[in-house]
C-alpha cells in the first residue's frame, strides 16, 4: 500500500522528534542569554547536520537525516510547508493601515532604506561576481537583482519583537519602523519573486515574462480584491462554522492554495502564503485568538523544524568563508543603516530617532534566511554565499535590539521571575517573628545566590526597623541595598498564618519578598517592586503562590501566570 517502509517511518519520527527537542533546548539557551530563539534553533540544526553529528558519526547522521530517498522527501515537504506557514504568520502581522498613517516618513525611510543597500548589493554583484559565488548557469542580471534584494530586505517579525521588548511598539517611532519594514517586505518579496521568475529553471511551465505578469496580477488581486472578500467573509465564517476550527481551516487552506499557485507560476510558494497573510491580517474581523493559535502552532512546531532543518542541508564550517562573511555583513549593514538614517532624516526625524530607525531596520532574521535558502535551492547562489547570508542575518538580528536600546537609552525592565532563584523559596516560614523571617530569607538567598547572608540580614533588618515594609493585601517586601551587588536577587517566604509587617490594611503578610539590589541600582529596585505589585494584585495568583509546594512550581506559576488564571482556580488545572 504505502511507499514508506516501517524503517523509513521510524526514521522520520526520530528525525522530527530530535529536531524539535534540540531546537527547543538550544532555543531556550539562546533566550536565557537574551538572544532570539531562532538563533538557538539554527545552531541545533548545525549540531545535528553534516557540520557536527554528520562529521563525527556519519552513519548515524545518514540514517536519521538522509539526503535523498523517501525520508528526505518527507522532511523537505515538511520544511517547505513550514516556511510557507511561517510567512503566512509574518503576513498576518502586517498592518497595511499603519503604512498609510505613517505616510511620507515611512515612504522616505523605505525608499532610501531599500535603494542604498540594493544599490550596494547590485553593484558588488557586477563588480566581483566570481568572488561572490555567481554561478555561470544564472544570468548575471538575475544574480545581481537577488543580491540587491538580499541586502535590502528586512525582517518584520524580528523587528516587531524587538520593538515590543523595548516597549516602543505602540509609539510613533515604533509604528514608523514597522510601517517601513512592511513596505520593504512587500517590495522585497515582489522583487525576489520577479528574480525567480526571470530565471530559467528545470520543469518551468511559463516563460519569465508570463511569470512576472502573473506575479504582478496575483499581488494586485490579493491586496485589492481578496483582502476585501476576506474582510466580508470572516463574520460569515465566524457565524456559521465551529470556532476556531472554521477560521483556521479557511486561513490555512487559502495560504496553502496560494502557495501552490505561486510555486506553479514559477516563483516560490512562500510568496503566495505571505500575501494571503497580508490579505487576511488586514481584516478588522480577524480575532486575536486566531492569530494566537496560528502563532502557537507555527512557533512551537513548524518554525523550529524549518530553522533547525537549515543546518541539516550543508556543512557550515566547510562553506564558511571569513572574507565573504565580513564583506556581506559590512556592506549589508552599512548600506541598510545609512539608507534608513538618511531616509528618516529626510522624513523629518531627529538624529537620535533616525539612528534608532537605522539600527532597527538592520535586523534581517528569518526573512533573509528563507530568501537565501530559496535562492540556494534555485541555484542562484552557492553554499558559501548562503552561509555568509545566514551569519549576517543572525548577527544583525542579535545586534539590532541592543543598538536600538542604547541609542534610545531604553531599558528592559527587571522582572521578578528572572531574579528569584528556585532555591530561594521558603514555603514554610510558619508562625515566626518579622526578624526571624527576614533572617531565614537572608540565609536562603545567601545559599541560592552566593550573597553574604549576614550582610543581607543586617541591611534588611536595619531598613525594616526604620520603617516596616508591609504593602497590604498580605504582601511584604523587606529589602536591602548592598554595595558590590551587580544584579537584583529576591527570596520569597510563605507563611500561611501570616506575619505582621505593619501593613496599612492591618493584615499580616503571607508572601514575604526579600529584595536585594546594588546600592546605586535605584531603577532595578523600583522595577522589581513594581513587578511584585503588578503580579500579586491578582488574588488568584496570591492564593496559588501561598499553596506552591516548591520554588520550581512557584516559578512555573509566575512564568505562565495569565494562562493559569484563565484555567480558573488552582487544583482545577486539569481538563
Of residues 25-54, which lie at the interface with its own copies (CB under 8 A)?
A: 27-28, 31, 37
Q: Under rule CB under 8 A, how many of the chain's residues touch its own copies?
A: 108
φ, ψ at 217 (rounded to 5°): -60, -45
Closest approach of Cβ 545 to its own copies, in Å?
13
Whose Cβ is closer to its own copies: residue 380's or residue 407's? 380
Cross-strand bridge partners of residue 489? 516
Query: How far is it, in rounded angstroms, from Cα 238 to Cα 243?
Result: 7
Whose Cβ is closer to its own copies: residue 96's or residue 453's? 96
Does the footprint of its own copies cover residue 239 (CB under 8 A)? yes
Does the footprint of its own copies cover residue 100 (CB under 8 A)? no
Per-residue cell: 535: 503580579
Using CB under 8 A, which of the segments 402-410, 454-462, 490-498, 552-560 binds its own copies?
A: 552-560
Closest approach of Cβ 416 to its own copies, in Å?
13
Does the footprint of its own copies cover residue 421 (CB under 8 A)? no
Query: How far is it, in rounded angstroms, from Cα 473 to Cα 509?
Result: 8
Using CB under 8 A, which of the segments 130-138, 341-349, 351-359, 560-568 binds its own copies?
A: 560-568
Identify the residue whose cell numbers are 531599500: 114
Closest approach of Cβ 363 to its own copies, in Å?
20
Does the footprint of its own copies cover residue 320 (CB under 8 A)? no
Does the footprint of its own copies cover residue 5 (CB under 8 A)? yes
Closest approach of Cβ 506 to its own copies, in Å?
33
DSSP string covering 109-148: HHHHHHHHHHHHHHHHHHHSTTTTT--TTS-HHHHHHHHH
Contact 416, 528 (CB under 8 A): yes
Does the footprint of its own copies cover residue 207 (CB under 8 A)? no
Whose Cβ is closer to its own copies: residue 201's or residue 430's? 201
DSSP, collapsed to helix, strand or coil, labels residue 52 as coil
Closest approach of Cβ 43 to its own copies, in Å?
15
φ, ψ at 488 (rounded to 5°): -60, 145
By CB under 8 A, what part of segment 112-151 binds its own copies? none
Contact 544, 562 (CB under 8 A): no
Q: Which of 378, 501, 389, 393 is nearest to 438 (CA)?
A: 501
Q: Which of 57, 100, 126, 243 touches its own copies by CB under 8 A?
A: 243
Query: How far is it, in rounded angstroms, from Cα 478 to Cα 491?
Result: 10
Using CB under 8 A, which of the segments 48-56, 481-489, 527-535, 559-567 binds its own copies?
A: 559-567
Q: Which of 140, 326, 422, 539 touches its own copies by CB under 8 A?
A: 422
Does the footprint of its own copies cover residue 288 (CB under 8 A)? yes
Helix H or strand E encompassing 483: none
Q: Which of 320, 308, 498, 333 is nearest to 399 (CA)?
A: 333
Contact track, its own copies, 509-548, x by CB under 8 A: ----------------------------------------
Whose Cβ is closer to its own copies: residue 199's or residue 349's? 199
By CB under 8 A, what part of segment 54-73 binds its own copies? 68-73
Whose Cβ is closer to its own copies: residue 509's or residue 555's? 555
Does the footprint of its own copies cover residue 313 (CB under 8 A)? yes
Cα distances from 403 to residues 39, 155, 356, in angstroms, run 18, 16, 8
Distance between first and last Cα of the chain: 38
Per-residue cell: 109: 525611510
Closest approach of Cβ 143 to its own copies, in Å?
17
Closest approach of Cβ 170 to its own copies, in Å?
12
Closest approach of Cβ 75 to its own copies, in Å?
8
Does the footprint of its own copies cover residue 411 (CB under 8 A)? no
Whose Cβ is closer to its own copies: residue 36's or residue 117's? 36
Q: Which of left, alpha, beta for 484 (phi over 0: left; psi -120 to 50: alpha)? A: left
DSSP, collapsed to helix, strand or coil, labels residue 421 as coil
By CB under 8 A, what part of segment 343-382 binds its own copies? 376-377, 379
Contact 364, 149 (CB under 8 A): no
Does the footprint of its own copies cover residue 169 (CB under 8 A)? no
Q: How far is CA 552 from the centre of its chain?
A: 25
Does the footprint of its own copies cover residue 296 (CB under 8 A)? yes
By CB under 8 A, what part of segment 244-273 binds its own copies? 244-246, 248-250, 252-257, 259-261, 263-264, 266, 269
Helix H or strand E encompassing 466: helix 453-466
Whose Cβ is closer to its own copies: residue 111's or residue 234's? 234
Per-residue cell: 533: 505589585
Strands 479-482 and 509-518: parallel
3-state secondary structure 166-189: CCCCCCHHHHHHHHHHHHHHHHHH
Whose Cβ is closer to its own copies: residue 315's or residue 553's? 553
Amino acid at each position: 500500500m504505502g511507499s514508506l517502509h516501517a524503517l523509513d517511518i521510524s526514521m522520520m519520527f526520530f528525525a522530527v522528534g530530535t529536531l524539535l527537542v534540540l531546537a527547543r533546548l538550544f532555543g531556550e539557551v539562546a533566550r536565557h542569554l537574551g538572544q532570539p530563539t531562532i538563533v538557538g534553533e539554527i545552531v541545533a540544526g548545525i549540531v545535528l547536520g553534516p557540520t557536527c553529528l554528520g562529521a563525527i558519526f556519519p552513519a548515524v547522521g545518514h540514517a536519521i537525516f538522509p539526503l535523498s530517498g523517501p525520508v528526505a522527501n518527507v522532511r523537505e515537504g515538511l520544511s517547505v510547508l513550514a516556511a510557507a506557514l511561517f510567512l503566512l504568520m509574518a503576513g498576518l502581522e502586517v498592518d497595511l493601515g499603519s503604512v498609510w498613517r505613517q505616510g511620507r516618513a515611512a515612504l522616505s525611510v523605505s525608499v532610501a532604506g531599500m535603494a542604498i543597500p540594493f544599490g550596494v548589493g547590485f553593484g558588488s554583484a557586477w563588480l566581483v561576481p566570481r568572488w561572490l559565488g555567481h554561478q555561470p548557469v544564472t544570468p548575471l542580471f538575475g544574480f545581481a537583482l537577488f543580491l540587491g534584494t538580499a541586502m535590502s530586505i528586512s525582517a518584520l517579525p524580528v523587528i516587531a519583537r524587538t520593538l515590543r521588548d523595548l516597549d516602543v511598539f505602540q509609539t510613533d517611532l515604533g509604528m514608523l519602523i514597522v510601517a517601513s519594514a512592511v513596505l520593504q517586505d512587500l517590495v522585497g518579496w515582489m522583487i525576489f519573486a520577479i528574480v525567480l521568475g526571470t530565471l530559467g529553471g528545470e520543469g518551468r511551465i511559463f516563460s519569465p515574462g508570463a511569470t512576472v505578469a502573473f506575479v504582478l496580477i496575483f499581488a494586485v488581486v490579493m491586496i485589492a480584491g481578496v483582502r476585501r472578500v476576506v474582510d466580508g467573509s470572516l463574520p460569515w465564517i465566524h457565524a456559521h462554522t465551529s470556532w476556531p476550527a472554521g477560521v483556521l481551516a479557511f486561513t490555512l487552506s487559502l495560504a496553502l492554495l496560494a502557495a501552490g499557485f505561486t510555486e506553479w507560476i514559477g516563483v516560490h510558494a512562500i510568496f503566495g502564503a505571505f500575501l494571503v497573510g497580508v490579505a487576511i491580517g488586514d481584516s478588522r474581523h480577524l480575532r486575536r485568538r486566531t492569530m494566537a493559535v496560528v502563532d502557537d502552532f507555527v512557533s512551537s512546531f513548524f518554525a523550529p523544524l524549518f530553522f533547525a532543518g537549515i543546518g541539516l542541508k550543508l556543512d557550515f564550517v566547510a562553506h564558511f568563508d571569513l572574507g565573504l562573511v565580513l564583506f556581506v555583513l559590512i556592506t549589508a549593514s552599512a548600506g541598510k543603516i545609512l539608507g534608513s538614517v538618511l531616509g528618516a532624516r529626510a522624513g523629518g526625524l531627529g538624529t537620535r530617532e533616525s539612528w534608532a530607525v537605522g539600527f532597527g531596520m538592520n535586523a534581517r532574521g528569518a526573512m533573509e534566511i528563507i530568501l537565501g535558502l530559496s535562492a540556494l535551492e534555485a541555484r542562484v547562489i552557492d553554499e558559501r554565499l548562503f552561509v555568509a547570508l545566514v551569519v549576517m542575518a543572525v548577527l544583525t538580528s542579535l545586534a539590532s535590539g541592543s543598538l536600538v536600546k542604547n541609542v534610545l537609552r531604553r531599558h528592559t525592565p527587571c522582572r521578578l521571575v528572572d531574579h528569584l532563584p528556585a532555591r530561594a523559596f521558603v514555603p514554610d516560614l510558619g508562625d515566626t517573628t518579622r526578624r526571624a523571617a527576614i533572617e531565614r530569607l537572608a540565609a536562603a538567598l545567601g545559599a541560592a545566590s552566593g550573597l553574604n547572608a549576614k550582610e543581607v540580614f543586617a541591611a534588611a533588618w536595619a531598613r525594616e526597623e526604620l520603617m516596616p515594609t508591609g504593602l497590604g493585601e498580605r504582601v511584604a517586601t523587606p529589602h536591602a541595598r548592598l554595595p558590590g551587588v551587580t544584579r537584583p536577587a529576591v527570596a520569597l517566604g510563605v507563611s500561611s498564618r501570616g506575619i505582621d509587617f505593619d501593613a496599612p490594611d492591618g493584615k499580616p503578610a503571607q508572601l514575604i519578598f526579600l529584595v536585594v539590589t546594588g546600592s546605586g541600582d535605584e531603577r532595578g529596585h523600583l522595577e522589581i517592586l513594581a513587578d511584585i505589585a503588578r503580579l500579586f494584585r491578582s488574588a488568584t495568583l496570591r492564593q496559588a503562590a501561598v499553596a506552591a509546594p516548591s520554588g520550581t512550581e512557584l516559578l512555573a506559576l509566575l512564568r505562565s501566570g495569565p494562562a493559569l488564571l484563565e484555567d480558573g482556580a488552582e487544583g482545577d488545572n486539569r481538563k
